[in-house]
Amino acid sequence: MINPKDRIFFLILCQIILVQNAVFYLFNMEAKKVKDSLVTMTELVLPNDTNLFDNLMGGRLMYWMDIAAALSATKHCGASVVTASVDNLSFQNPIHIGNVVTIHAKVTRAFNTSMEIYLQVWGENPIEQRKYRSNEAFSTFVALNSEGKPQQVPPAMAETEEEKKLYEEALHRRQIRLILDGKLKGKDASEDLKSFFLNS
């Protein structure tokens, strides 16, 4: 029979070891370059992908975008991921049947267990060899461990000017998502967002 005092001591010791391991993991996790998370996905728009106007269905495009974003997030964190949110998705130009869809997805910034992914979608008429922008969006993915629980992700290292700009703006986008989801109060946001939410 284990002495109750020894059992309490053992449990406290286990907790201390778990915390030490988590801290060691967090501070020794190497940052990964944004460019290493880049995924380019290409699809041909076929008849079963289109609506009554022979344009790519929005739902099919969102499905492809979700796959590209998930692959990018997985490349960054080396773990299974799930979609947490998708920001405003507006369609600028329809993509016609027979045209090619190219989706670029890359991590903009990593937080504790989540990553923001920036997606750009292009359409291309392969006969005319004309490329045009279709839309863009930001997705958030959460990394999961083998038990399906959120796990730490490596930081993202922005190198180019565009990557640095997206990296800096990612914090604001994240705070807006959290405020709209009710997980963050406007008064707790960064100063520029705080003034926007408290004055409106």
Average pLDDT on 16-27 reads 51
Residue 80: in which H helix or E strand, if any? strand 80-86
What is d(CA 99, CA 122) in angstroms, rounded to the nearest whole number? 10
136-186 per-position pLDDT tens digit: 999 999 999 999 999 999 999 999 999 999 999 999 899 888 888 787 776
Residue ranges covered by each domain of the chain: 1-30, 31-160
* pLDDT bucket at 2, cuts 50 / 70 / 90: low
Please state which of the four CATH numbers 1.20.810.10, 3.40.1390.20, 3.30.1390.20, 3.10.129.10 is assigned to the domain occupying 31-160.
3.10.129.10
For the chain, helix, strand, coil in percent to 5 are 40, 30, 30
- Write the burial class of residue 144 (CB in 10 Å: 0-12 exposed, 13-18 middle, 19+ buried): middle
Other residues' Cβ atoms within 10 Å of the Cβ of residue 79: 17
Give pLDDT, residue 190: 64
Q: Are 117 and 73 spatial neighbours (Cβ–Cβ below 8 Å)?
A: yes
Q: What is the token pair recorded at 54?
A: 């022979």
What is d(CA 136, CA 92) in angstroms, rounded to the nearest whole number? 9
Contacts of 85 (CB under 8 A, 6+ apart): 139, 140, 177, 181
Q: Are 35 and 75 spatial neighbours (Cβ–Cβ below 8 Å)?
A: no
Q: Are 172 and 149 spatial neighbours (Cβ–Cβ below 8 Å)?
A: no
96-145 per-position pLDDT tens digit: 999 999 999 999 999 999 999 999 999 999 999 999 999 999 999 999 99
* pLDDT bucket at 196, cuts 50 / 70 / 90: low
What is d(CA 157, CA 164) in angstroms, rounded to the nearest whole number? 9
Q: What is the token pair recorded at 7?
A: 């059992």
* pLDDT bucket at 89, cuts 50 / 70 / 90: confident
Residue 21: pLDDT above 50?
A: no
Q: What is the token pair recorded at 183?
A: 């997980």
Q: Are strands 32-33 and 156-157 parallel, antiparallel or unpaired?
A: parallel
40-80 per-position pLDDT tens digit: 999 999 999 999 999 999 999 999 999 999 999 999 999 99
